[in-house]
A and B are shown apart, each in its own frame.
Chain A
Amino acid sequence: MNATGDNVLDDDASASTADERPAAEVPDERVNARAARASKSADAARDRAHDRSLVERAAKGDQRAFAELVGRHQRRAGVVAYGIVRNAEDSREVVQDAFVRVWKHLADFSGQASFSTWLYRIVYNLSIDVIRRRSPGKPVELDDRTDLEGAPDELLPYRGESDPFASLDRARLTEAMQSALDELPAYHRTVIVLREVEGLSYEEIAEATSVPKGTVMSRLFHARRKMQAILHERYGKEVPLPKDLRDAPEEA
């Protein structure tokens, strides 16, 4: 699945860290990674152009074009919605309502942002509405005043010899990730899913969530730290993550 965006490429290109391999291999790897990124970028540009074309046709009443738009984006929108509302039925409802809203407002799509960013913005707003409906009277945590207690002061390093998640079977890993996500406030879940799963840039996330780019960076940073800490606390025995930075040598 391409939902992981650049991370898939990242993993493929550098399955182990650079300092674990002979120095001579590193330049080739970087060249390959850059070439792969360029190819991926060209694909993304073609996708955006095709989306724009579909939107233009749909805006003229072409329902087949609109159906293709739905088909192209429904799963990714569903993953984003699920990451925020954390309920399969609710996320399905969110995505359905989002596409109906898209249909109503096709003329408002300026084409400056990508269609997916525009769609995610609608999905995000509808997801927040769902969370509000679930707990009327309880404010949705949408600002950065949420207590960061429990989050480490820094990103946590991993010094194991293999994939830190390799010891978990697939079902257990999904459970671990979901459990850690559940602990995050909605605005942290949103930015980390949009970045880690959909591969949106900081600028695109800022546009989708209507917050400044600096706020996106800050939220992403805290969300990652909290996820790492929660995973370590709950699954530390199974996931050897992380080893404390202070145990590491100061220099190579």
Chain B
Amino acid sequence: MTHPDDATLQTWHDRELPPGDAAAIDEHLARCAVCGPRVEGLRALGRGFARWADDAPADFDLTAAVLAKIAVDDVPAAPAPVAKVVPLDAARARRSPGRAMFYPAFAAAAALVLFLVWHNPGALWIATAPPPPGSAEPSTRPVEVGGGPGGAEVTRVDVQGAQSYSVLQIQGVSGAMTAVVWIQDPPEESPTPSTPH
């Protein structure tokens, strides 16, 4: 009788063998007095670990402590990556050939925004609005800009870095477009843009 080697027996014990191989080991173990004790050695160790884990000093409740630490550190939850906003310098550094095809669309959208702003100065506050004091949450409230052909709707403004850049979704004549407007701030008013993880 050929007995399975230790590695195979361990893999069987851990239920990591393919079904056909596992069935063969099942059959072997059902009639082998040598391999049964080998498996029982593994099972005994598992039982020892079960009891060790039950007695491990891990019955703490950290919920309050974790939430308090998050509040103290003022750590915002990383928002879901719906529209990741990155400074243009970083975006340029991450250019890939696949993205290049969208550059003409971005350029056209930016040109449209500039056109709207040029012909409707009242819209300028949208792109340069300073963040509310103490605000850590990005504003997602749609803001109508209005004016100009097609109009423009700001669907997401990163208030933490709004003085540096904004992401705009525009309903233009050719449909929905996304534009990133980068505005160079004066050095003394330039906050460090914070980006989500």
Contact = CB atoms under 8 A, between A and B. Distances in A.
B46 interface: yes
A151 to B, nearest CB: 12
A245 B38 contact: yes
A59 interface: yes
Interface stretch (A101-109, A125-133, A136-144): A101-109
Nearest to B41: A158
A158 B181 CA distance: 72
A20 to B, nearest CB: 7
Contacts, number: 230
A248 B67 contact: no
A215 interface: no
Nearest to B10: A221
Given A67-B67, A164-B44, A154 B60 contact: no
B37 A248 contact: yes
A217 B76 CA distance: 39
B32 A96 contact: no
Contacts of A56: 80
B38 A157 contact: yes
B78 interface: yes
B98 interface: no
A184 interface: no
A170 to B, nearest CB: 7
B73 interface: yes
B56 A82 contact: yes
B60 to A, nearest CB: 5
A19 B48 contact: no
B1 interface: yes
B10 A241 contact: no
B144 interface: no
Contacts of B197: 104-105, 107-108
Give the contact-size bracket for chain B.
35 or more
A23 B15 CA distance: 22
A106 B70 CA distance: 13
Dominant secondary structure at the B interface: helix
Contact of A19 (B9, B30, B52): B30
B100 interface: no
A187 to B, nearest CB: 17
A233 interface: no
B26 A19 contact: no
B62 interface: yes
B136 to A, nearest CB: 10
A82 B41 contact: no
Interface in A152-187: 154-159, 163-165, 170-171, 173-174, 176-178, 181
Contacts of B76: 61
B66 interface: yes
A196 B46 contact: yes
A177 B54 CA distance: 12
B43 A165 contact: no
B31 A252 contact: yes
Interface in A14-62: 14, 17-20, 23, 26, 30, 37, 56, 58-61
A165 B7 contact: no
Given A7-B46, A59-B79, A157-B40, 17 more contacts: A3-B54, A56-B80, A61-B76, A74-B60, A74-B61, A78-B60, A82-B57, A92-B58, A92-B62, A96-B65, A105-B197, A106-B80, A155-B10, A177-B52, A178-B52, A221-B6, A251-B32
20 contacts: A3-B54, A11-B46, A18-B29, A18-B30, A19-B36, A79-B58, A91-B58, A99-B66, A103-B66, A103-B78, A107-B81, A156-B41, A157-B37, A157-B40, A159-B37, A173-B48, A174-B55, A221-B6, A228-B41, A252-B32
